[in-house]
Structures are given as C-alpha cells and as structure tokens.
Structure 1
Amino acid sequence: MKLAVFDFDSTLMDGETIDFLAEEMGVSQQIAQITKKAMQGELDFYESLKTRVKLLEGMPQKKAVEICHNLPLNLGAKETIAELKKNGYKVVCFSGGFKFATEYFRDILGLDGEFSNTLHCKNGKLTGEVGGEMMFDFSKGTMLSVIQRLLNVCPKNTLVVGDGANDISMFAYAEKKIAFCAKEILKQQANIIIDKKDLREILSHIKSL
C-alpha cells in the first residue's frame, strides 16, 4: 500500500478557492492580502481562515456552490492521479479550502478521499463562519498520521504535494515531499521541487516513487 496526498488550492486547482469567492463579494483585495501572508507562513492559518471567511458573509449559498464547481484545475491533475493509482497509490486531497469544491472534484479527479472545511450556511446564505478537518496549520500532518495508521502505510511509501505554509506539517510524515510552484517556506522543507505548472512533472519522478 502506498499513499499520495495532494493539497487542493494552487496544487490540484489553479488558484485559491476563497479568492474566487471573494471576487463575487467584491472583497478580492482584502482576502488576497491575507491569503498571501498565510501561505507564506506570516499569519496563523486558523486566524487568517476565520478572518477571510467572515468577509464572505451574506453570499448566496447557491452562488458559492456554482463558483466552487467551476474552478480551473491545474494542467495534468487527472492524468497524474490516474497514473499514481495505476502504480498502487491511494490518492487523497487535504485542503484548507472548502467541501463545496473538494467533494465535487473528488469524483472528477478520481480521488479516494478528501478532507477540507465546511462553509456554514443558514437560510440559503453563507454566515461567515467555517469549521472542519483542516482549520489549523498542523491539521494536515495530524490527518496524514491518522490515515497512515488506518492503512498501515509508512512514511517511506508516502508522497505529499503542496504549495504553501499549511502543507509543512504533512511533510514530516512523508519521504517524498514535493513543493509544487510553491512558496519559499515550503521549498525549504521539500526534497522534490517543481516550478513548472504541470502536475505531470511529478510523473518524471515516478521511477523513484
């Protein structure tokens, strides 16, 4: 058994889900500034997530779902996941983003599972509150260790791919640590660095996977 874990925003998907939602609410600049600092490790992830989601308060749930179902995938996402599965990997997604997106793309991408956060809705609108499995900067590492125990997979047989500071925690549990078009803080923790925005570049390392 082998395990591959991908981040979603700016890894499997080209961009940050919350930035696409921000455009609809006219709060792009405020949210983008916070996102940038959070992904560079300059802000506490939990506090930054709560602050950003609060700016989405009042957005119609239907519109949020529509936006999340129309996000652009990065080049090679489907092919890379399919190839990893052919090579005996279970492939899952960990995202500090939202279920509206990750549950939808789970089936499109052929993922074996996804773990993310839930935007709270009431009376058909976003309340500005969020909760879930990926709220903290340590959440991905914690979840990865749980899944490794459940599947009896060791770090040697674990591959992780991410781009931002909140991916650092899962790097500690994997032998193959891929920084994909990543922030410098994550590159420093990686042993494979890919700067070309094409996930199929991962497959060039397949012999060593």
Structure 2
Amino acid sequence: MLSLTLVSPDPEAAASAYHTAREALSVGVGRELGPGAWDLSVASADPATIEAAIAGRPVDFCLQPAAGRKKRLLVADMDSTIINVECLDELADYAGLKAEIAEITERAMRGELEFEGALRERVGKLKGLAATALQQAYDERVRLNPGARTMVRTMAQNGARCALVSGGFTFFTSRVAEAAGFHMNRANTLHEAGGVLLGTVGEPILGKEAKLAALNEEAAALNIDLSETLAIGDGANDLAMIKASGLGIAYRAKPVVAAEAHAKIDHADLTAVLYFQGYSADEFVID
C-alpha cells in the first residue's frame, strides 16, 4: 500500500484537494492529520493524477510506501531550509557586497557553479570584515523557519537522530542546531585572526559529497538502512543526500532539486515533514 499525504497552509484548499483526489483515485475515506493535512491509503497512484487533482491549489503532497514512513534519521540543510536566510549573503551585506555575493550563491544553489570553488570565491571577498559581523548577522538576520523546531523536536522525541549538515559555517550551525534541537551539526569553518576574517575557509570544504557522506555515516552509526532516513534541503549541493535518502524532500527548492526529490514543500511550513511521515498534529512537540 501507498500513503498519499496532502498538506496546505489553507485548510479549505487541502480539504478540497483531498476530496478531489479521493474521487480521482477511487479510494475510501482517509483521515485528517491536522489543520490543512489529510492522509489517504491507496493501492497505486500516478503523480500526474494527483497533480491534476490539486489543480493549482496551494497544496503540497507526498506519495510513498505506507510501511516505514516514520524515519529514524533526519539530515537537514541549514541556509534557506531550517533558517530564513543564506548566512554568507547576510555577512556580505555588512561588507557592502550582498548583491554581488548573493548572485554567486544563487548560481551555486541552482547547480550552475561548482560549490567548493564558489564558496572560496565568496569567502575571499569578505577578507578584512570584522569578525563581530558574525554575531551581528546571527542576532539581526537569522530566524528559524516556521515549523523547524517543531519538526526537529518531534522527530527527536520519537527516537530519530537529527543532524544539521551545512555548506555554511560552524559559527551559525552550532547556534541554529541548539535553537532547533538538533543532536549534532557539521559545517565549514571560517578563518579569522586579529578580529577580522582572513578570507579563507577550512579544507576540505563540506559540499555535496560531504553531505551525502554525512547521511551514510550517520545511518551506519545507527545501524539503519538508508530507507529509514529523511533528508531535506533546497540547493544543488543537497541533491545527492536527498536522492539517496528514504524520503528526500525539496523545501522551497531550486528547480534542479525539486525535479528529482521524492517530495517537495512549496506552500506549507516544515511541519509538513511530520505530516508526510504520518504524525498527527496532536503528536507534535510544541513549545
């Protein structure tokens, strides 16, 4: 059996899509998981039929095997996934270079540039920036995306290991991991001395292959199959881990990522990740 989950920030749109999908797929009554979230059991389904049933409504969906939906490992990207910004772009703003660096970031995230080289280029442009800009950027710009902490804490309370793996920087991942409730974090290291950034980053750079390696290493440490893992991100450097995981989710993602992920979230917040796994709203850990 398969599970089809429909999630929307608009409960009426979700309910409408649910009823239309039931008719299109000729299945019985499903269940409401929470406001704007519905679950259906289906023997088979063509994603194109589901997309037609949604018919332009602001609804995200996930079609997957019903067995093993609740994952035991979460590996998440940070910038523009767990948090609202690209930290490097925000640092560049304090150096008066945001537009220039953000353009390189966008191209790298779309897969048009090799990630490692693009990171070195962007970091190099920040040489001489006061190191105090790191804390300033975190305090003034960085916010958890809606649903992030609920997603992480709910999975953690239900026995999943939660890892934050970023092509960004440890200064930010250490703080974001603590704020959201991740068990661990991996990222790159910015070099600084004398109170300023040196324009260099620690090697080897954590990029696409390192994110995939993190997924494999964490799964091996837990002695679980990759089918029991979930990976989520938005950029091209997240694609390898997204494709290798049991449930790979593209969150507000670049086209190259959205096209190959198992599911995508374009409308709902990050609690959709929980609904996709079959959690109901009354199981969410909220504080």
What TM-score, normalized by structure 2, do the two folds share? Answer: 0.69
**Residue 101 of structure 2, aligned match among 23, 31, 40:** 31
Among 231, 237, 246, the residue aligned to 1:160: 231
| Distance in 1 between residues matched to 2:203 and 2:73, nearest whole Å | 22
Name the CA distance, whole Å, in 1 between partners of 2:168 and 2:99. Answer: 18
The one-character-per-residue Cα deviations of 1:74-105 (angstroms, maximum 9, x if unpaired) are 11111111111122211111101111111112
Structure 2 residues not aligned, in runs of 5+:
1-70, 280-287
Query: What's the counterpart of residue 162 of structure 2?
Result: 91
Measure how far apart 1:9 and its partner are: 0.2
CA contact (8 A) 2:166 2:206 kept: no
Kindly indicate whether the alpha-carbon contact (under 8 Å) linking 1:10 and 1:163 is maintained by their aligned counterparts in 2.
yes
The C-alpha deviation readout for 1:11-62, integer Å capped at 9, x for no partner, is 0001201111011000011101100000000000000000001111111112
The CA distance in 2 between the partners of 1:117 and 1:181, in whole Å, is 23
Larger Rg: 2
Q: Aligned pair 1:63/2:114, yes or no?
A: no
Decide which of 57, 76, 79 is 1:6's aligned counterpart.
Answer: 76
Deviates more, 1:10-19 or 1:134-143: 134-143
The residue type paired with residue 274 of structure 2 is L
Percent of counterpart pairs with the same letter?
34
> Which is worse superposed, 61-70 or 146-155?
61-70
1:131 lines up with 2:195 in the alignment: no
Task: Establish whether residue 198 from structure 1 lines up as the match of residue 269 from structure 2.
Answer: yes
Task: Supply the distance in 1 between the matched residues of 2:205 and 2:156 (Cα, whole angstroms).
Answer: 24
RCO (CA 8 Å, sep 6+): is it higher in 1 or 2?
A: 1
Residue type of the alignment partner of 1:9: D
Q: How many residues align?
A: 208
* SS, match of residue 202 in structure 2: strand
| 2:74 and 2:230 in contact (8 A); partners too | yes
Separation of aligned partners in 2, 1:62 and 1:84: 34
Q: CA deviation at 1:206?
A: 2.1
Is residue 114 of structure 1 aligned with residue 155 of structure 2? Answer: no
- Residue in 1 aligned with 2:60? none
- Tell me the CA shift for residue 65 of structure 1: 2.6
Structure 2 residue 172 is the aligned partner of structure 1 residue 101: yes
Report if aligned partners of 2:243, 2:261 keep a CA contact under 8 Å in 1. no
For structure 1, which segment, 62-71 or 3-12, has the greater mean C-alpha deviation from structure 2 after superposition?
A: 62-71
Quote the Cα distance in structure 2 between the aligned partners of 1:15 and 1:104: 14
The equivalent residue for 1:185 is 256
1:188 deviates by 1.7
CA root-mean-square deviation:
1.6
Among candidates 112, 115, 118, match of residue 45 of structure 1: 115
CA contact (8 A) 1:115 1:134 kept: no
Shift of 1:69: 4.3
In the aligned structure 2, how far is the partner of 1:132 from the partner of 1:154? 30
Deviation of 1:115 (Å):
0.4
What SS does the aligned partner of 1:150 have?
Answer: helix
TM-score by structure 1 length?
A: 0.94
Residues 41 and 185 of structure 1 are in contact (CA less than 8 Å); yes or no, is this contact kept in structure 2?
A: yes
Q: Which one is further off, 190-199 or 74-83?
A: 190-199
Compare 176-185 and 166-175 and name the one that shifted more: 166-175
SS of match in other structure, 1:94: strand
Structure 1: unaligned runs, 5 residues or longer: none
Cα gap change, 1:169/1:133 in structure 2, threshold over 3 Å: closer, same or farther? farther
Q: Which amino acid aligns with 2:177?
A: R
State the distance in 2 between where 1:69 and 1:92 align.
22
Query: 2:58 matched to 1:22?
Result: no
